[in-house]
Chain A
Amino acid sequence: MSRRDYLFSKFGISILTLLFVLVLDFVLFRVLPGDPVRAVIGRNIRISAEVQESLRAQFGLDKPIFPDQFIDTMGQWARGNLGVSWSLRRPVGEILISKLWNTLLLIGLGQILSIVLGVILGLLAGWKRKTPFDVGALTFSLIAWATPTFWLGIILLVAGSAWFGLPTGGIVSPENVGKPLYTIIPDVARHLVLPTLTFTILYLGEYMLIMRSAILEVLSEDYILTARAKGMSHFQVLVKHGLRNAMLPMITIIALNLGFTVSGAIYIETVFSYDGLGNLVQTALVKQDYPLLQGAFLLLAVSVIVANMLADFLYTYLDPRVKAN
């Protein structure tokens, strides 16, 4: 398959996925009892029937659901108009954007730490297979995999605050709210320690396992034997031939993992009352704020799909087998 064909098929799937998410979100919003008019008036049922009717016409709800309403809604979404939150009485898009950066900060930090550590430790574990180090790494991965994210968060929260006096919630201490950014960096960093640690522990195990099996796969290839025969040292072979080839599957996995990191963010932000998208999703769930919940789903799903698309694009540059054709 040539690079263009490969990208085309990947883009095709991404577009299909995007379409699926849009239709699903639209359908979910429509099957709820009540309609978008309720989203505007909130729970205030004292608005008269005539006003409700005129609102309904204004929203185009007297038109057929498909295609008129669907196309209209897509147009609204494309302009960033995701409706109004029932509980916060503000535009959903605006709320989402205000929380986005905090979540990106948490996910970014956690991902970078767990990927770097996971690659290094996984490489070592695969290289020194069946040594105590490898067994230890495997045990750690297994337990991290089997542990519920939120529970690990709770334990680290208790331990971190009791033993190290670390803050247990939020992103900045109350007395520092509103101060200029550069003066509160140490405070924010302290708040980030526990959520980031939870994130890193959870994903480290997985990346380590994947890197370990990728390097095992690579090390049983014949070109490794050839490299050894040429007189290269174990370490040289590992870094020059092993690491580079084993990194390829990692890139796909990291991209696919973005969906899981979003799950992690929801649990971890809930446990640490961290002011991001994940915490927002949980609040929306508790308050039964459906416009907010569905808007958050749309934003999260679309970002993961787009990120995957970018990863596929990157992959074609890195994998010589795709590039060569």
Chain B
Amino acid sequence: MRESWFLLLRNLKEFWRTFRQNKLGLVGGLLVLIALLAAIFAPVLTPYDPSEIIRDENNRALTFAPPEVHGILGTDDAGHDVWSQLIFGARISITVGFLAGFIAMFVGSSLGILAGYFGGRTDTIIMRITDILLVIPDLPLLLVLVATIRQMELRISPLVVLIIVIGLLYWTSTARLIRSQVLTIKERQFVARARAIGAGHWHIIRNHILPQLTPLIVTNTVLILSTAILIESGLAFLGLGDPTRPSWGTMLNFAFERSAISNGAWWFYLPPGLAILWVSLGCILLGNILEEMLNPRLASHHLEGERGMIAVADTESRI
């Protein structure tokens, strides 16, 4: 057990060392961190309650007030403070996106390990399911599922429906990735040795395979988070969010449905989209940095001029 922790720690340390050198990755991490902090400290950062109606001196609701007239980002169609909505929206968007992403990651990693490790019929069944889910257009599937579940009057929050449906549909790419990685790890010496001295399946998976997979799972999770955030915003934009707890997607739905565009209320429809872009771009930058580490063969190619080739030859001779 202690040995597996050591392996995990070593892999994470290596991961961190490479990560630190990658500026884009650091930028991505910073973007995500700022969004997380905004979500956590939302009450401190906002002067108004997001559902509070701002009124002018005649006690009329201040609707579509531009930023010059009110606050940081003006007001929306009903007189709510847009800045407060945006910051509190971070909580909803990030919570739904992250929980859905973690479910997808958990399901995908588990099924990927099962398929890769046990092979045979388990593998066939899991891979057939990923094949099927890969071909069905995802948004129409999400829409019928979410709409039908909501209609069933199950008394669950619309946000929970979103989390579960997104989480249970977006695991296929993770499963395939993890499976192919497990297939190569499985053939290594240390797994064969562990098996030879009588280690059980669970022991081998937990102590020998899982630690090797950790960096891959971490990066893949981060990428899935960006997908989940984008999907949540899309579904919310189409009206499947929780109107009482607006995420960024719900805000855009309100802005679009309640004529923010014809009123020229850019402060209402620009910021939520930028916020979605901010977080999903952050996750992508954070997650994508491992691509080159995982695929060193692509470090240079044959049409990149003489210097590249000499460099490759050099490293080869040194080895």
Contacts and interface: CB of A to CB of B under 8 A. Distances in A.
Same complex origin of A and B: yes
B290 to A, nearest CB: 15
B189 interface: no
A214 to B, nearest CB: 11
Give chain B's interface secondary structure class: helix
A301 interface: yes
Nearest to A215: B301
Contact of B301 (A146, A149, A219, A267): A219
Interface in A167-215: 213
Interface stretch (A64-72, A97-105, A292-300): A292-300
Interface string A264-307: 00110011000000000110011010100110110011001100
Contact of A17 (B131, B143, B237, B301): B131
Interface residues of A, number: 65
Contacts of A262: 137, 139-140
Interface of A: 13-14, 16-17, 20-21, 25, 28, 31-33, 126-127, 129, 142-143, 145-151, 154-155, 157-158, 213, 216-217, 219-221, 224-225, 228, 234, 237-238, 242, 256, 258-260, 262-263, 266-267, 270-271, 281-282, 285-286, 288, 290, 293-294, 296-297, 300-301, 304-305, 308
17 contacts: A20-B136, A25-B144, A142-B281, A149-B234, A150-B237, A151-B233, A151-B272, A217-B298, A259-B136, A260-B137, A263-B138, A263-B140, A281-B143, A285-B238, A288-B147, A300-B137, A305-B135
Interface stretch (B62-70, B79-87, B148-156, B196-204): B148-156
B261 A145 contact: no
Contacts, number: 167
Interface of B: 128, 131-132, 134-141, 143-145, 147-148, 151-153, 226, 230, 233-234, 237-240, 249, 252, 256, 261, 266, 269-270, 272-273, 276-277, 280-281, 284-285, 288, 297-298, 300-304
A146 B277 contact: yes
B125 to A, nearest CB: 11
A13 B261 contact: no
B132 A219 contact: no
Given A129-B304, A220-B302, A293 B143 contact: yes
A150 B132 contact: no
A32 B303 contact: no
Contact of B152 (A33, A143, A285): A33
Contact of A290 (B151, B226, B301): B151
Contacts of A270: 237-238
Contacts of B281: 142-143, 146
Contacts of B240: 285
Contacts of A217: 298
Nearest to A12: B128
A127 B140 contact: no
A25 B261 CA distance: 36
Given A17-B135, A150-B252, A285-B147, A301 B301 contact: no
- Nearest 5 pairs between A and B by C-beta? A151-B273, A263-B139, A259-B137, A219-B301, A146-B281
